[in-house]
Amino acid sequence: MSLLECQGVRKSFGGVRALSDVMMSIEEGEIVGLVGPNGSGKSTLINVLSGFFPADSGRVDFVGVDLLGQEAHEIAAHGIARTFQIPRPFATMTARENVAVSYMFGREKHSLAQARVAADEWLDFTGLASIAESNVDQLNLQQLKFLELARALATEPQLILLDEVLAGLNPAEIEGSVEMIRKIHDRGITIVIVEHVMRVVMSLSHRIVVLDQGRVIADGQPDTVMNDEAVISAYLGGKRI
Amino acid sequence: MLEIRDLTTGYGRAQVLWDVTASVADGEIVTLLGPNGAGKTTLVNALSGILRPWSGQVLLNDIDLTATRPHLISQSGIAVVPEGRRIFPDMTVTDNLLIGAYNKRARPHHEGNVERIYEIFPRLSERKRQLAGSMSGGEQQMLAIGRALMAEPSLLLLDEPSLGLAPIIVENIFEVLKQLNQEGLSILLVEQNAVEALNLAGRGYVLEEGRIVGEGSSGELLADERLRKAYLGL
Amino acid sequence: MKSRRRALTGFAVAFLILLAVPHLAERMDWPGFYLTFMFTAFFWITQSSSWNMLTGYSGYFSFGQGAWFGVGVYTTAVLAGKQGWSFLAALPLAGFTALIVGLLLGLVVFRLRSLGGEIFALTTLAVAFVLAAIARIFAAIDGGRGAFMTSVPLPEFLGEFRPAMYRMTLVIMMLTLVTAYLIYESRLGWGLFAIRDDEQVARGLGVPTFRYKMAALGANAFFGGLMGGVWALQIGFVTVEDVFSIRVPLFVILMSVLGGTRHWMGPVVGSLIIFTIVDRFNSAGFENFNQVFIGSLLILLVLAVREGIYLRIRERWVATASLFGLIIAASVIFNSSSMVWKFLWALLGILLMALIPDRAWQKLALRRRPTPSESREDRETVDA
Amino acid sequence: MNADLLTQAAVSGALIGGLYALMSLGLSLSWGALENINLAHFMFILFGAYVTYQLTSSAGIDPLLAALIVVPLGFAAGGLLQIFFEWAKVDEFKSLIISFGLFIILQSLARTIWSADFRSLDQSINPYVGSSFTVGSVSLQIPLVIAFVAAALIAFGTQAVMGRTFFGKAVRAVVHDPDTAQAFGVDHRRVGVLLAAIASAYSALAGVLIATFQSLSPTMAVGWFGIVFPVVILGGLGNAVGNFLAGIIIGVAAGVAAVIWGPLSASLVTFSIMVLALLFRPEGLFTRKAAI
Amino acid sequence: GDDEGDAPTTTADVPTETSAAPSEDPIVVGGSLALTGFLAPTAAIHKVAGELFVERLNAAGGLLGRDVVWDVRDDESTPDQAAAIYERLITEENVDLVLGPYGTGTITAAMAVAEREGFVFPHHTASLTYAYTYACHFPTWPVGVDTNISNPNIVYDALEASGNPPATIGFVLNEFPGTQLIGYGPPNSDAGGAVSEAKKRGWDVVLEINFPTATSDWAPIASQVAEADPDFLYVGALGVDGPNLLTALDAINYTPKGHFYQWPAPGPLLGAPNADGAMSVTVFESHPPYTDDPEAASIVDEFAAKAAEAGIPYTLFDVQAATSWTAWQVLTAGVAGAGSLDQEEICDWLLNNPVETIIGTIDFDPAQQNYYGDLSVIKQIQDGKWVVVYPPEKALPGATPEL
Ligand SMILES: Nc1ncnc2c1ncn2[C@@H]1O[C@H](COP(=O)(O)OP(=O)(O)OP(=O)(O)O)[C@@H](O)[C@H]1O
Ligand SMILES: Nc1ncnc2c1ncn2[C@@H]1O[C@H](COP(=O)(O)OP(=O)(O)OP(=O)(O)O)[C@@H](O)[C@H]1O
Ligand SMILES: [Mg+2]
Ligand SMILES: [Mg+2]
């Protein structure tokens, strides 16, 4: 059975249909690239899967549990973590405290003392060790994005949903980060990655799902999907990969 | 048109930029390269009035902007697409665009300009009254670009405009920039997609740890072995 | 966990020492007012610390302290004052009634996803008005007649009125402080801090936000109400106008903000300073300046010491403690009239210490000390 | 229950609701548009009333003419306070505390100047107190009619300015991100100061009108909390027209409730409305949900 | 004893040992007043009265040959503050004597402290007569322990005396413990009050409204009053309730036929529309026969000057100032009578001797919780002034109640 299975997930905001009938499944151990034009519903889907928005209808099964209608914190306890496209750190805490809180509440509950140790590990992993003591208002966008990542990892998820964590890196830096994501994957974590930088998506994904106007328009091997006419006209434009 | 002389600035007591000297000529597109945390955003913000310079000079058409009160900078012709968009989340799309036209020069033409922005970004015109904060990341980026164009700048500062945009939109935006440039707009572009940026620009600077460490035509920079390794991932 | 055990031992020791004070007072023939001064301080410490459990920790700004206090006051006023219950039987109900009212409010407001912090603040303000209206309407509660507490008998083992008040308020204060400390050091506390910074994100990381907010609100209301229940005795004649006035919430805010809302000790320090100053102003007969002074102090402190004075003085605790001791010693030698005055001078010394800006402090200190943000490392080890 | 009585109660309620709206608008704007919970507005009202009293009783000016002096004073005071707020970089929370400090100081200043005892304009110099006219069986109190009309004009005028002009948009931009607004040409200091000054002028005007028909005492300002806050919430922060309508709703509901269930029920009804509004429309009754 | 019939006596009974200037430390009288908070408007009058009393006392040689200092603090109108203040004054600052604060709640709280510390406690303005049982409390709000019966009946007698008693009466009562006591009698008792007393006289009660102390919108009450249109309107009013109601009544063009206000702020009521004919209770007004005594006349004059100086708008010496004055007279008479500052001796002396005061002779009666009958008289606004109109022997010569 798949790790995660979406069926007919719908979500509208007033007149805007952000998701209409999304069907998608994620297998354990996969890295799935989720791409699509701006406003196609990727972040909305992540919000629905992580319990931030209630879906209007549909079904989301995660290891056999129906997630719809569950609170975000319950979903986190099941083992789904996510990052925010626009970073949202805890503003009065240091980087370390940000990660520590997340470790305390993640899939398993930990004490404050344990959390401090674990936080340092994850900061190290994401290359933020040097700014562990910094208040978050001293960090730049990139550091904030990696902090998002560290925080999500600290919940010890089974499935992690990454919303544009690598946007804003230059090509050389991307190499290093791709390595890091692979390392996350090596720890047995299933990954859904949303990214507009095609070299990232192509080099990481085992499978790519393309959303357009809230619908899945393609799903398959990276090469196949990227040469799909619909995908090219909706998303890639003249620039084929 | 833009002359930066020995500019230093930073946050609180932490200095980020050290004696930066650079220029953008009339009608030119100049790109600014540099690793993460080098100070590119800091420079852009110091030029646009978001951040105050500590010392040094910024001259726009020989007018000293460091002596100008920050809110008058946009009047003198600079507009910015800031890093992280910094749209006004509680305001509608239209109102965000109108703020772009706040300065006295652009205000009289705001009606026509709004229509033009809507043509460039049809998605924005579908969502005129949506609160900007609820737009998708990419939509917000379009809005930030639209807002800057509303100001009718003579010099446009773009801090990673392609961030979070679908390839098809990026292509579109680069098209638009090229066209505006041909109409006389000068551009200072910070962009991670360096190859793309250098192709568009005529010239570039390399900023590292707050200092300008290199400068040259696009061709020269693209050919530089060290740069290719460090920034272009080639 | 070692530090927790140490802290709890500290609480126990403090409790035992304070418990001995009434005996000491009798032995040494202290003016009766000293006890009154102390138990009034306990009252304010309890009110502001309990307020801080909700507002300081979770960031939900509350004007509701007057409501919890008032519910507590009226519970004992009705049960012990009017219905003739024994006081100690009525007292726990003061806490529980406030708890129930608090949880009812929470049930309503915390269910609203779109509720902004400022709307929460105003709702809590409204609660006091609504309760006041209810008390006025129902004759069983007040009906505009007030309730006398002056002839309510107190159990003998508590002693005379003053020591009895002292002992009851002391116990409640200690319970409140231990609770505040335990929350601060626990997952509940950190969950609340996360809520304070970004509630949605906190929820996404696994913080059960609704339950946690209810817990904070409940603790706040319970201790506020419990102390209100005792305070009915000090009021003597309980009326709606007095009880549901804006005084309690505003003083509580003032005290906590002065002391600092980010740490459980902040409200304790803030309450002591504000209460002592106000008391001495009154004692000196400066009634015309009292208000002007409080107002000015408020403005000055909010501007000058952002994080509240407690975190500041902790950075400088050796110097602060020395100064405190020095002033007490000096005033004993030069024999200023009353102990409360000595205490005031010493507290003003602390205040002065806190007002020295960080930069000036670093220059003053012989060896360089880290600034608050730099010293988080050792703050954490202190807290851990 | 007699129909005339209810009509009278409703009409009087609507009129006094106009006054409530005017008393609340300054705070609402300051809170909603500038994110300052500026309790000093209560003092602008109080001083507006006392200065009117002073001008009228010592210089013999008609109380409404006193507005020509009092309103500019309010404007200046509010502007200066905002300059201070900007200088001190206060946030919403600090503004609450600082302005509460001011509240206490000014209240005791009023007591020093005018004593704690009640002051009221003598009938001989105040043509408005008790003056009224009747429409059918309903009589309308002139000071309240004036307040109502003023509140209506101001509410709709303010709404138009805030919604339609560049100034109004600039205000909202400035609150969230002054630096970015500045980069687009908004002088965030001037915008904030101007709006704060206008808001305070409204409060001062409310004070002028109060002086025409009520006795004044320094402590009366605290009593206004119970009216002003429900109106501000019900109307939606910063929403001038909503604020006006909320004033009327509160005024009518309290008036009618007082007739039917007695005066004790009035505040309960007022707050019940507020709580219901919070439950079902936490953003305020009249704030349009973001259109899409 | 019951002094109701007595002519007003106005000797400020100050024992004067006319020796040289007092040499010892002054005698300190401690106390608080509601200088801020919701009771502050009226407390300001008590402050002026007390200061004037002390000034005159010292000018006349002080007490027991020593100067007297009044150490008055601000209790912010709150009882717990008042309790703390009296505790501080007595136990920390060791004042020699105390005098009660202003207002029922604060007085009750302070009285509890005085009782614990065994201090004689004269107080002027506590309205819940039934509740005060401390053996050494000395009330100078001279309304009798059954004020709920005696007070309305004085009013009703005046109405009957006008020759035009009402057939219908309406009640508008502040939800304040004191006014509720007068309206309905003590809680949990069948004694009744103004409402039942009116019924006993066969008058038809056509209106009964209770309103909260913080009422700001008077229109709904006014319309109900107009609708009921009673022959007489009995307003259990405090402070500016009266003028507010009158203004609201005037706005709907209604003029009450006859009206009474329990404890109004006197100045604002005078300035209210249609205030002529308004009645109230008092024990002293600044006109004959009260000012026939030269001593009283000079007090009235000096008070007016001092009140004006303190910025108080209505400067006539009347019921509030007079009861305050009386409390001071009781305290100083007790000390002088006992010849010492010993609290027990002072208390004893006061329990056993009548005191001559500005409002008449007072003889504290332990059987009546130290009350001594109701000394209230009725005053009415006539031609824009307050004048005492009933009973005739205390009325301004020639004045009678008008309806
Ligand atoms: N709260 C909201 N109110 C109204 N519309 C919304 C809201 N949230 C999202 N939308 C709309 O729903 C659509 C889907 O948004 P979403 O953020 O999921 O897009 P996305 O695929 O993540 O795009 P991007 O690549 O630009 O981040 C967008 O058109 C957006 O404007
Ligand atoms: N608000 C701030 N306060 C303090 N330090 C800051 C702040 N913003 C940025 N910095 C620091 O200033 C330096 C330069 O940051 P800047 O954002 O200008 O880099 P950048 O070149 O734009 O990087 P990127 O490619 O990630 O956008 C960094 O070391 C960063 O940590
Ligand atoms: Mg997105
Ligand atoms: Mg940058």
Rounded Cα–Cα distance for residues A192 and D219 (Å): 62
Residue C1: what pLDDT?
60
User: Which of these ranges, A66-75, C372-381, D255-264, has the smallest mean pLDDT?
Assistant: C372-381
**Residue D18 · residue D241 · CB < 8 Å:** no
Residue partners of E362: CB distance under 8 A and separation at least 6:
E3, E140, E142, E326, E330, E354, E355, E372
Q: Is B83 among the domain residues?
A: no
Domain boundary among C202, C222, C245: C245
> Nearest Cα to E222, choosing from C132, D132, C130?
D132
Number of domains in chain C: 2
What mean pLDDT is predicted for residues D201-221? 92
* Position E332 confidence tier, pLDDT thresholds 50, 70, 90: very high
| One-character DSSP codes across E42-87 | HHHHHHHHHHHHHHHHHHTT-BTTB-EEEEEEE-TT-HHHHHHHHH
Q: Is C259 among the domain residues?
A: yes
3-state class of A7 per DSSP?
strand
* Position E1 confidence tier, pLDDT thresholds 50, 70, 90: very low
Residue partners of E231: CB distance under 8 A and separation at least 6:
E166, E167, E168, E169, E257, E258
* C144 at E interface, C-beta within 8 A: yes
The pLDDT mean for chain B works out to 88
What mean pLDDT is predicted for residues C301-307? 79
Q: Is C370 among the domain residues?
A: no
Q: Are B138 and B168 members of one domain? A: no
- First-last CA distance in chain C: 8
The pLDDT mean for chain C works out to 87
The closest CB to that of E216, out of D122, D144, D223, belongs to D223
Q: Are C115 and C255 members of one domain? A: no
* Position E261 confidence tier, pLDDT thresholds 50, 70, 90: very high
What was the ipTM of the complex prediction?
A: 0.87
Over residues E262-298, the pLDDT tens digits come to 999 888 898 888 999 999 999 999 999 999 999 999 9
**Residue C192 · residue C212 · CB < 8 Å:** yes
Over residues A85-96, the pLDDT tens digits come to 888 999 989 999
User: pLDDT at residue C353 above 50?
Assistant: yes
Atom 12 in ligand 1: residue holding the nearest Cα: A18
Instruction: Pick the residue from chain D with its C-alpha nearest to E242.
Output: D215
User: pLDDT at residue E6 above 70?
Assistant: no
Residue C366: what pLDDT?
54
Cβ-based contacts of A15 with chain D (< 8 Å): 292
Residue C362: what pLDDT?
74
3-state class of B206 per DSSP?
strand
Residue C287: what pLDDT?
66
Residue linked to tokens 């909320």: D246
**Residue A104 · residue A112 · CB < 8 Å:** yes
Q: Is C376 among the domain residues?
A: no
Cβ-based contacts of E217 with chain D (< 8 Å): 12-13, 16, 251, 254-255, 258, 266
Q: Is B84 among the domain residues?
A: no
* Position A238 confidence tier, pLDDT thresholds 50, 70, 90: low
Tokens of D130: 């008790």
Over residues C18-30, the pLDDT tens digits come to 999 999 988 988 8
User: pLDDT at residue C87 above 90?
Assistant: yes
Q: Is C318 among the domain residues?
A: yes
Residue D132: what pLDDT?
81
Over residues E22-53, the pLDDT tens digits come to 457 899 999 999 988 888 888 989 999 999 99
Instruction: Pick the residue from chain E with its C-alpha nearest to D8.
Output: E223
Q: Is B82 among the domain residues?
A: no
Q: Are C171 and C269 members of one domain? A: no
What mean pLDDT is predicted for residues B53-76? 86
Rounded Cα–Cα distance for residues C13 and A10 (Å): 60
Q: Are B160 and B211 members of one domain? A: yes
Q: Are B158 and B222 members of one domain? A: yes
3-state class of B159 per DSSP?
strand
Instruction: Answer with the residue of higher pLDDT: B184 or A140.
Output: B184
Tokens of E61: 């040689």
Which CA distances in Å does E248 have to C34, D228, D275, E173?
A: 51, 21, 29, 16
Residue D40: what pLDDT?
95
Q: In what order do the strands lie in the sheet with A80-82?
A: A80-82, A159-163, A190-194, A31-35, A207-212, A215-220
Which CA distances in Å does C199 have to A147, A156, C214, E242, E254?
A: 17, 20, 14, 51, 57
Residue E358: what pLDDT?
94
Over residues A101-137, the pLDDT tens digits come to 999 998 888 888 888 889 999 999 998 999 999 888 8
**Residue A49 · residue A60 · CB < 8 Å:** yes
User: pLDDT at residue C122 above 80?
Assistant: no
Q: Is C381 among the domain residues?
A: no
What mean pLDDT is predicted for residues E118-128? 94
Share of chain E above pLDDT 70, in %: 94
Q: What's the predicted TM-score (pTM) here?
A: 0.89
Query: Residue B170's domain spans which residues?
Result: 2-77+154-230
Which CA distances in Å does B166 have to A144, B116, C18?
A: 22, 21, 68
* D292 at A interface, C-beta within 8 A: yes
Over residues D122-143, the pLDDT tens digits come to 778 888 877 788 888 888 888 8
* A79 at C interface, C-beta within 8 A: no
Residue C8 is inside which H or E element, if any?
Answer: helix C2-28
Could you please state the CATH topology (level 3) that the domain comprising D3-280 is classified under: ABC transporter involved in vitamin B12 uptake, BtuC (1.10.3470)
Residue E14: what pLDDT?
46
Pocket of ligand 1 (CB under 6 A): A 13, 16, 18, 36, 38-44, 85; B 130, 134-139, 164; D 292
Q: Is B64 among the domain residues?
A: yes
Q: Are C265 and C240 members of one domain? A: no
Examine residue E289 and say whether the peptide bond preceding it is cis (omega within 30 degrees of 0): yes
Rounded Cα–Cα distance for residues E56 and E63 (Å): 11
Q: Is B117 among the domain residues?
A: yes
* Position B137 confidence tier, pLDDT thresholds 50, 70, 90: confident
Q: Are B159 and B218 members of one domain? A: yes
Rounded Cα–Cα distance for residues B48 and C343 (Å): 54
Q: Are C145 and C182 members of one domain? A: yes
User: pLDDT at residue C358 above 80?
Assistant: no
Residue D78: what pLDDT?
96
Tokens of A74: 């319950």
Residue E278: what pLDDT?
96
Atom 25 in ligand 1: residue holding the nearest Cα: A38
3-state class of E239 per DSSP?
strand
Cβ-based contacts of D111 with chain E (< 8 Å): 36, 40
Q: Are B198 and B137 members of one domain? A: no
Q: Is B208 among the domain residues?
A: yes
Over residues C174-213, the pLDDT tens digits come to 999 999 999 998 999 999 999 999 998 999 899 999 999 9
Domain boundary among C230, C245, C260: C245
Rounded Cα–Cα distance for residues C102 and C124 (Å): 9
Residue contact A93–C200, C-beta within 8 A: no
Examine residue E391 and say whether the peptide bond preceding it is cis (omega within 30 degrees of 0): yes
Q: Is C383 among the domain residues?
A: no
Residue D119: what pLDDT?
87
CATH number of the domain within which B38 lies: 3.40.50.300
Ligand 1 atom nearest to A40, measured from its CA: 21
Residue B233: what pLDDT?
66
Over residues C211-260, the pLDDT tens digits come to 999 999 999 999 999 999 999 999 999 999 889 988 899 889 889 988 99
* Position E9 confidence tier, pLDDT thresholds 50, 70, 90: very low
Residue linked to tokens 């140790």: A117
| Residue type at C87 in one-letter notation | F
E-state strands within A2-51: 4-13, 16-26, 31-35
Query: Residue C147's domain spans which residues?
Result: 1-245
* Position B234 confidence tier, pLDDT thresholds 50, 70, 90: low
Share of chain C above pLDDT 70, in %: 92
Cβ neighbour number for residue E313 with a 10 Å cutoff: 18
Alpha helices in chain D (DSSP H): 3-34, 40-59, 67-88, 92-114, 142-164, 166-176, 178-183, 188-211, 220-235, 240-261, 264-280
Tokens of B181: 């440039």
Residue E173 is inside which H or E element, if any?
Answer: strand E168-174
| One-character DSSP codes across E311-363 | T-S-----HHHHHHHHHHHHHHHHHHHHTS--HHHHHHHHHHS-EEETTEEE-
* Position A150 confidence tier, pLDDT thresholds 50, 70, 90: very high
Number of domains in chain B: 2
Q: Are B187 and B147 members of one domain? A: no
Instruction: Answer with the residue of higher pLDDT: E61 or B1.
Output: E61
Share of chain A above pLDDT 90, in %: 56
Domain map (residue ranges) of chain D: 3-280
Rounded Cα–Cα distance for residues C279 and C38 (Å): 11
Q: Are B93 and B107 members of one domain? A: yes
* D267 at E interface, C-beta within 8 A: yes
Q: Are B194 and B207 members of one domain? A: yes
Q: Are B105 and B217 members of one domain? A: no
* D81 at C interface, C-beta within 8 A: no
Whether chain C lies against chain A with 3 or more Cβ pairs closer than 8 A is yes
Rounded Cα–Cα distance for residues A172 and A177 (Å): 9
The pLDDT mean for chain E works out to 90
Domain boundary among B100, B118, B152: B152
* Position E16 confidence tier, pLDDT thresholds 50, 70, 90: very low
Q: Is C54 among the domain residues?
A: yes
Residue E15: what pLDDT?
45
Over residues B114-132, the pLDDT tens digits come to 999 999 888 899 888 889 9
